[in-house]
Every structure is written in C-alpha cells, then in structure tokens.
Amino acid sequence: MLLYANGDSHVLGAMKDKSQGKSFVDLLVEEFQLLLHNDAEAASSAKRIVRTTKEYISNNPTSDTFVLIGFGTWEREEWEYNGEFYNIMQGWYKHLPPKLLERYHNWMNTQDSDLLTSKSKQCHKDIIGLHQYLNKKNIPHLFFNCMYNFVHTVDGTTSDEPFDWDNQYIGPYDNNKSYYWYLKNNGFESDHWYHFDEYAHAFWAKHLINYIKENRLL
C-alpha cells in the first residue's frame, strides 16, 4: 500500500531549527510498512493541496492508497504566474518573482479577521469537496489541521452541528486537536516557524497511528 501525503512544511518533515530526524510521516510509513509519495510543500494553501491531490489521483492508480493531509492556515493562497504556481503566505515572499511583489504587498494590506473568516468558510467548503471526492473513489483518508481549527460558522453548520467527517478529520472544529496546539499543550516547544523536533514528531506520529487503528482507517 502507498501513503499519499500532502500539506505544508509540517507534512514535508520540517524540523525545529532545521534539525534532523524522522518525521511523523516517516514513522507512519514504518509502522504500516507503506510506500510513500509526499506532495507537501512549505506554505501550501488549502487550494494547492486540493488541486495537487486531485491531480495525483487522476493520473495514478489509487486502488491501494491511503491519503494523509495536514491543512495549514486559512489565509494562504496559490497564485499562477507565467505558468508557475506560487504559495502565498503572510511574511513569506522572498521566493516571488519581482513582478508579483507589489501584488503581494497589496494582498498583505487586505488581510484582517473578517477576510480570514471568509477564507476559512471557503476552505471548509473546498475540503468537504475533497473528502467527498475521495469517498466517491473509495480512497481511505485522514485529514488534520496543522495550526488551528476552522474559524467561522458556515451556513447550516454551527459548533453544535458540525459536518460529519465520519472520523476522517481529526478535530476540525477543535483548536486543541490541531498539530501545533496538540504538541504545544503536551509540553513541546517550536521554533519561530512553528516547527518541532523529532521527539514531537514521534509524539504526533503515535497519536496518528492510534487514531488510524482505533477508527480502522487503514
């Protein structure tokens, strides 16, 4: 079986202060004896993750595939320019070509809590679509949030009536169940990019492994 992973730098395996070690993805591969294809990129938006996941599934056999995705912060975007895709995140712009810098700085000036709420709502809708897409293709999967929960109330979905993810999303509406806050609340410290060391990765891997086994996802 193949593990298809996607997400941002956390899923890519980034470590605290650029240290080395086995990431939680590596440890899942070892535990379940899986092959691995990792499409994660630093600063990935939900839009990029949904796009690249669907592209992979459309172009590869997936009858024996498990999908693991960690979603980043909701303000992020993906811009296409001259046939290339660029990940857009607050405070991260040195990779952009010169002609996108003015657009980036204008974009930065529009970011506020109201816009974040609106983007959270759109990401929620897009991720539900990906979940339903995977279910339709009978592809087992598990989602989680890397930084924080959805920060809005969507039409027809309140904190008392969340979307039913059928145990395929760890704590989508609970901030403390996100990757960052789960580790932070268990005593682990990150660097300024919110990356953790190999011991924290191992702790999160154990959490994922137990969740997968308890819910018979794999």
Q: Tell me how far apart the alpha carbons of residues 43 and 87 are, in angstroms, rounded to a whole number.
A: 6
User: Residue 161 — very low, low, confident or very high, per pLDDT cuts 50/70/90?
Assistant: low
DSSP 45-111: -HHHHHHHHHHHHHHS--TTEEEEEEE--TT-EEEEETTEEEEEBTTB-TTS-HHHHHHHHHHHHH-
**Cα distances (Å, whole numbers) of residue 42 to 56, 61, 70, 94:** 18, 26, 12, 13
Per-residue pLDDT tens over the stretch 25-57: 999 999 999 999 999 999 999 999 999 999 999
Kind of pairing between the strands at 84-88 and 77-81: antiparallel
What is the pLDDT of the chain when averaged over all its residues? 94
**pLDDT single digits (tens) 57-97:** 999 999 999 999 999 999 999 999 999 999 999 998 989 99
**pTM score, two decimals?**
0.94
pLDDT at residue number 103? 96
Its CATH architecture, for the domain 2-214, is 3-Layer(aba) Sandwich (3.40)
Cα distances from 40 to residues 7, 72, 103, in angstroms, run 5, 11, 25
State yes or no: pLDDT of 159 exceeds 50.
Answer: no
Give, for 67, the enclosing helix (H) or strand (E): strand 65-71
Average pLDDT over residues 178-198: 98
pLDDT at 154: 52
**What integer is the mean pLDDT of 174-194?**
97
pLDDT for residue 156 = 46
Q: What percent of the chain has pLDDT over 90?
A: 90
Q: Which of 218, 216, 207, 215 is nearest to 27 (CA)?
A: 207
Judged against a pLDDT cut of 80, whether residue 101 lies above it is answered with: yes
What is the pLDDT at residue 108?
96
- Distance, in Å, from the CA atom of 111 to the CA atom of 109, rounded to the nearest integer, reads 6
- pLDDT classification of 160: cutoffs 50, 70, 90: very low
User: At which residue do the structure tokens 């760890």 appear?
Assistant: 170
